[in-house]
């Protein structure tokens, strides 16, 4: 039996069906990330698990115990909020120890737990400061520390990094990953940032419109997205997905349409790193397609070339070579035929994915 089990959980806000029957089994020690676009229901799902919203239908089991109707304080879970939610008039020590004091723990026990958490989070020097005397990153660490001291069965993080600047976000992300390795605690983490999801998760759960689109290991989702939505949600820039008819070359290369159903009028997808940019006219000997450069983004470590085919379809290519191409210049695109994805009219992956070796 799974450690945390969501059984067909549903939530309504008035007439709005926000969570539409979620089934999910989470193993002990697993780091699971809920990701999806704004409004998909990821925070609501986390709040249902935390007990901050009531579950309308379905049930929730933790370690074999039905906790569906229990108050948040009885669930043995600890939540870390985006807003930190620290008490401004309390010191770091008082903030971190608050829940333990309320629970009536012994002073010595409280001291030990707070000191241990402070050591893990590098907060020992700040225990007597108030939140306003701390940086955003330090405040977030206090919020995490407040969860750690409770030694909960599951940690719940709701977009914990979104108030931090880009550099601090990366650093805190690394700290959270390190913390998870050190504590081995079961963790559920909500974010709209797919890079955070891909880098932190053992398993990513992609949500859309109150339902799970797909869940799996980060690279499983990247390499074998179940549908067009997941394909385009993972990876930046996102996968090029075009109607079969708009890029017949790819469709033919991958044998699209030979798989029955409505594949013939579906979509083909190719990630930017599987599109190659060549200088015409010499390259026209290669299989490929002519295009006009819209934009070149030189990022140092990689170059993104946005090019427009003659039928107005835009394709983005990612390469590690620097490029002297300029907007408006003609170019030639070829594709790694073994990396083409096929989706039917409804956007579902056509499996088994047809593969051909070579460039097209
Ligand atoms: P975001 O990334 O923008 O925070 P989210 O995926 O976390 O989005 P939720 O906050 O879970 O989305 O919201 C899911 C849906 O439920 C949204 O359409 C939202 O408007 C609605 N919703 C959430 N909370 C409430 C509430 N308390 N009352 C009414 N509707 C709500």
Residue 44 CA to ligand 1 center (angstroms) comes to 6
Residue 289 CA to ligand 1 center (angstroms) comes to 44
43 touches 19 (CB < 8 A): no
Helix, strand or coil for residue 91? coil
Q: Which atom of ligand 1 is nearest to the CA of 46?
A: 11
Strand partners, 316: 306
Identify the residues whose C-beta falls under 6 Å from ligand 1. Answer: 13, 16, 18, 36, 38-44, 192
Please tell me the predicted confidence (pLDDT) of residue 85. 85
Query: What is 1-56 written as a DSSP string?
Result: --SEEEEEEEEEETTEEEEEEEEEEE-TT-EEEEE-STTSSHHHHHHHHHTSS--S
Strand partners, 303: 298, 319
Stretches in the chain below the pLDDT threshold 50: 257-263, 353-357
- Which of 20, 35, 41, 212 to probe ligand 1 with, by most ligand atoms within 8 A of CB? 41
Residue 38 CA to ligand 1 center (angstroms) comes to 8
Please tell me the predicted confidence (pLDDT) of residue 263. 45
Residue 11 CA to ligand 1 center (angstroms) comes to 11
Please tell me the predicted confidence (pLDDT) of residue 83. 79
Residue nearest to atom 10 of ligand 1 (CA): 43
Q: 0.95 cut: is pTM over it?
A: no
- Which of 11, 12, 18, 82 to probe ligand 1 with, by most ligand atoms within 8 A of CB? 18
Domains and CATH numbers, the chain: 4-228 (3.40.50.300), 238-343 (2.40.50.140)
340 touches 334 (CB < 8 A): no
Please tell me the predicted confidence (pLDDT) of residue 352. 56
Residue 192 CA to ligand 1 center (angstroms) comes to 13
Q: Which atom of ligand 1 is nearest to the CA of 190?
A: 7
Task: Give the whole-angstrom CA distance, residue 219 versus residue 203.
Answer: 10
Residue nearest to atom 30 of ligand 1 (CA): 13
Where do runs of H (alpha helix) occur along the chain? 42-50, 92-102, 107-121, 136-148, 166-183, 194-200, 218-223, 228-233, 248-254
Please tell me the predicted confidence (pLDDT) of residue 214. 97
Please tell me the predicted confidence (pLDDT) of residue 120. 85
């Amino acid at each position: 039996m799974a450690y945390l089990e969501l059984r067909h959980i549903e939530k309504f806000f008035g007439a709005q069906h926000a969570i539409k029957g979620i089934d999910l089994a989470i193993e002990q020690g697993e780091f699971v990330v809920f990701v999806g676009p704004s409004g998909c229901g990821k925070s609501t799902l986390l709040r249902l698990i935390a007990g901050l919203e009531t579950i309308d239908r379905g049930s929730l089991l933790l370690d074999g115990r039905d906790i569906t109707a229990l108050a948040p304080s009885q669930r043995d879970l600890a939540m870390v909020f985006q807003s930190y939610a620290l008490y401004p008039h309390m010191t770091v020590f008082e903030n971190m120890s608050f829940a333990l004091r309320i629970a009536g723990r012994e002073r010595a026990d409280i001291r030990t737990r707070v000191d241990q958490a402070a050591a893990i989070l590098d907060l020992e020097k700040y225990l007597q400061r108030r939140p306003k005397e701390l940086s955003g990153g330090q405040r977030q660490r206090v919020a995490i520390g407040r969860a750690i001291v409770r030694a909960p069965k599951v940690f719940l993080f709701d977009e914990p990094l979104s108030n931090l600047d880009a550099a601090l976000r990366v650093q805190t992300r690394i700290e959270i990953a390190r913390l998870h390795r050190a504590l081995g605690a079961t963790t559920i983490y909500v974010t709209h940032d797919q890079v955070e999801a891909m880098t932190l998760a053992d398993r990513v759960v992609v949500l859309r419109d109150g339902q799970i689109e797909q869940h799996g290991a980060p690279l499983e989702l990247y390499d074998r997205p179940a549908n067009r939505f997941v394909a385009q949600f993972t990876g930046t820039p996102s996968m090029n997905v075009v109607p079969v008819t708009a890029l017949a070359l790819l469709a033919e290369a991958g044998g699209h349409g030979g798989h029955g159903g409505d594949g013939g009028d579906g979509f083909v997808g190719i990630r930017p790193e599987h599109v190659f940019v060549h200088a015409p006219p010499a390259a026209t000997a290669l299989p490929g397609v002519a295009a006009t450069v819209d934009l070149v983004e030189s990022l140092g470590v990689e170059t993104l070339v946005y090019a427009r085919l003659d039928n107005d379809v835009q394709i983005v290519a990612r390469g590690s070579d620097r490029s002297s191409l300029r907007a408006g210049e003609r170019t030639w695109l070829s594709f790694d035929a073994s990396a083409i994805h096929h989706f039917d009219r409804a956007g579902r992956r056509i499996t088994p994915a047809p593969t051909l070796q070579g460039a097209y």
